[in-house]
Amino acid sequence: MLSKMDKKVINSIRFLSMDAVEKANSGHPGLPMGTATLSYTLWAKHLNVSKNDPTWANRDRFVLSAGHGSMLQYSLLHLFGYDVSMEDIKDFRQWGSKTPGHPEYGHTEGIETTTGPLGQGIANAVGMAMAEKRLAAEFNTSDMNIVDHFTYVVAGDGDMMEGVASEACSLAGHLKLSKLIVLYDDNKITIDGTTDIAFTEDVGKRFEAYGWEVLESRNSEDIDELSDLIEMAKKSDKPTLIKVPTTIGYGSPNKAGQSVAHGAPLGADEIKLTRENMDWEHEAFFIPEDVYTHMGRVIDEKDKLRQDWNEKFDKYREKHPELAAKWDRWHSLELSDELLNDSELFNFDKDIATRAAGGKVINVIAKHMDNIFGGSADLAGSNKTTMNNTGDFQADTPDGNNINFGVREHGMGAILNGISLHGGFRTFGATFLIFSNYMRPAIRLSALMNQPVVYVFTHDSIALGEDGPTHQPIEQLAALRTIPNLKVFRPADAKETAVAWIEALKNTDGPSVIALTRQGLPVLDSVEDANRGGYIVSPEKKYSPDAILIATGSEVSLAMDAQKELAKENIDARVVSILSWELFEAQDAEYKEKVLPKNISKRVSIEAGTTFGWQKYTGSEGKNIGIDHFGASAPAEKLMEEFGFSVSNVVKTVKEIL
């Protein structure tokens, strides 16, 4: 059972957590108090990490999927020597602190992913475990295993209820991700009360059906039993769920085991009683010196594992120089000159759907970038995202690069974040644009975490036709454009599609969306300056245009056809293609003025989606051709004509504003 020192460290975690929540007058003390023993057991006895190099490649990953219990993680990071000071703990949830309300990747040292929206963390962990398995298949040799680490998760009842977790864990079982271990904080409490008001399923049987190993603790305070269970999980050939029957708010005389301990401070009186109950005769934020001394020894032991791995990798580099060079390349985000200069990227000479063009482009990319790792949510044939000659990533073929996500769009998005966070890959996922709705929380977290995930969304407008309004995106492009730090590309042709892919891969500080057509589009003569987001694709004939047509995607060719008809009526129009609002907005004022001069106020935007947002480019004197209602089931040509995406309507609209 617990030694005196183990008990001191565990209680340090508990009291740091409740003191920080109390000082902030905000937070979740119950989870840290209930899971302190299982978390300390994991970190002290199993988790291979080092505060001396928090990002060393072969470290184990720890994900607190139940991110509302963030003080658990901050307490662990503090005690295990990371850059989280006692002052940082005291500043919990305050402006500018390293200890925000939920763990944030890139904000606090040692945080592997941003969690809080329940289910996302455990799904990220599936992606991390997939990345580990794929890297191991590529780089481990018969004489040296340099990729050999686990992904551990602390998840709660809320995580288990979320659909995104179910999607991801189902795939994890299928892929036999044996390096994935989930510690299930089974406290049977939610905000509204006990879980039996809404959640009475047998979680263990569900995970067994997914293909997981399921183990169960009898006592959440038995450190030896918990350690033995983790050791058993590490030897399984399946992912493992360890059910741990914890008590939320453990140690609190009046609030333990109740929902009141979940999301509010315990209160000064209750903390005083808890101190008495737990024999913790210390003031707030006090850690006994012998705890720090003990933890110093634990930290040194853990760092020895990192040092051993570094020495091993040095030998690996000597013995396997080609693999080591590939390792360096896979862990770099830079694009090779060979890729950037490959003429095949722009080798298009006849009408082609941008989804089909995207399929050709991604295969050119894969030829130069053998660490591009991604796939589709059961739509690879429609999305055209299959990479030829790279194989499928499956349980028995872990060296493949094509991922079959199944019909799991939300799970796919969260898994992609995990792959990207792990490192070693450039990753993408594909589905129809309409189903970006299912993925929005994961896309938002990609943007929040600055992860360079590429989302490929095909069937980008009502022009998909007969499938009707359930599948025809209207508001999706506008909605995606509102997400900060997300670049949205809607290419006008095959060449712009190549530009979009290259710019997406260059975008290493955030995610990108590439929206592609089902229908064929003419190939533009030149896409010079497309990489600037917006450019003059067809200039006016005179010194200054009478009007400017601004379009994206399939509507660019429509605008160019309308330009020709307007010319017959002595109306000289300029056509501007806006491949990406975000890239265009990032250009300097001089360039933007060149493309969209302020003195030319007669402007018409054309996009087969909602007109929301286009006013920023058309102004008070312009007009917007779009669709601000749902579509219908009919052939694409009929829909486009009926809803105003025709040369005659563009000409009519331009004449109305002149």
Residue from 381, 385, 383, 440 nearest 412 by CA: 440
pLDDT one-digit tens code per residue, 183-204: 999 999 999 999 999 999 999 9
CB of 249 within 8 A of CB of 256? yes
- pLDDT grade, residue 616 (50/70/90)? very high
CB of 441 within 8 A of CB of 410? yes
Chain centre distance of CA 84: 25
| Domain 337-521 in the same topology as domain 4-117+147-302 | yes
Spell out the alpha helix ranges (H) of 278-407. 289-319, 321-330, 337-340, 354-368, 380-383
Does the structure show a pLDDT above 80 at 275?
A: yes
CB of 215 within 8 A of CB of 241? yes
**CA-CA distance, 379 to 355, in Å (whole number)?**
12
Pairing of strands 180-185, 240-244: parallel
Chain centre distance of CA 551: 29
CATH number of 337-521: 3.40.50.970
**Phi, psi (deg, nearest 5) at residue 249:** 70, 30
Q: State both tokens at 317.
A: 């580099």
Q: What is the pLDDT of residue 192?
A: 96
Q: State both tokens at 364.
A: 């050119």
- pLDDT grade, residue 636 (50/70/90)? very high
Residue from 95, 98, 107 nearest 71 by CA: 98
The 3-class secondary structure across 78-125, one letter per residue, is HHCCCCCCHHHHHCCCCCCCCCCCCCCCCCCCCCCCCCCCCCHHHHHH
Residue from 513, 428, 520, 449 nearest 477 by CA: 513
Does the structure show a pLDDT above 80 at 649?
A: yes
Task: Count other C-beta atoms under 10 Å from residue 87's C-beta.
Answer: 11
Share of the chain above pLDDT 70, in %: 100
pLDDT one-digit tens code per residue, 98-124: 999 999 999 999 999 999 999 999 999
Residues near 79 by beta carbon (within 8 Å), at least 6 away in sequence: 9, 12, 13, 287, 291, 292, 295
**CA-CA distance, 189 to 411, in Å (whole number)?**
25
**CA-CA distance, 305 to 644, in Å (whole number)?**
66
pLDDT one-digit tens code per residue, 10-42: 999 999 999 999 999 999 999 999 999 999 999
Taking residues 162-179, what's their average pLDDT? Answer: 98
Does the structure show a pLDDT above 90 at 1?
A: no
Share of the chain above pLDDT 90, in %: 99
**CA-CA distance, 121 to 134, in Å (whole number)?**
20
Residue from 627, 615, 636 nearest 550 by CA: 615
453: region left, alpha or beta (phi > 0 left; psi from -120 to 50 alpha): beta
Residue from 452, 531, 539 nearest 496 by CA: 531
**Most distant CA pair in the chain: distance in Å?**
91
pLDDT one-digit tens code per residue, 61-103: 999 999 999 999 999 999 999 999 999 999 999 999 999 999 9
CATH second-level architecture of 533-657? 3-Layer(aba) Sandwich (3.40)
Chain centre distance of CA 188: 29
What Cα–Cα distance (Å) separates residue 18 from each residue in 33, 80, 155, 250, 261?
8, 19, 20, 11, 10
The matching CATH number, chosen from 1.20.1260.10, 3.40.50.970, 2.40.50.140, 3.30.2420.10, for 4-117+147-302 is 3.40.50.970
Q: Which amino acid is present at 345?
A: L
Residue from 143, 259, 139 nearest 198 by CA: 259
**CA-CA distance, 185 to 248, in Å (whole number)?**
9
Spans of all domains in the chain? 4-117+147-302, 337-521, 533-657
Taking residues 52-56, what's their average pLDDT? Answer: 98
Residues near 150 by beta carbon (within 8 Å), at least 6 away in sequence: 46, 48, 60, 61, 179, 180, 181, 234
- pLDDT grade, residue 262 (50/70/90)? very high
DSSP 427: E
Number of H helices, E strands in the chain: 25, 20
Tokens 């970190």: give the residue.
43
Does the structure show a pLDDT above 90 at 57?
A: yes
List active site positions. Answer: 409
Q: What is the pLDDT of residue 2?
A: 82
DSSP 255: T
DSSP assignment of 473-496 equals -SSHHHHHHTSTT-EEE--SSHHH
**CA-CA distance, 177 to 527, in Å (whole number)?**
44
613: region left, alpha or beta (phi > 0 left; psi from -120 to 50 alpha): left
Residues near 510 by beta carbon (within 8 Å), at least 6 away in sequence: 446, 447, 450, 451, 452, 485, 486, 487
**CA-CA distance, 171 to 117, in Å (whole number)?**
20
Q: State both tokens at 583.
A: 């890239």
Chain centre distance of CA 1: 40
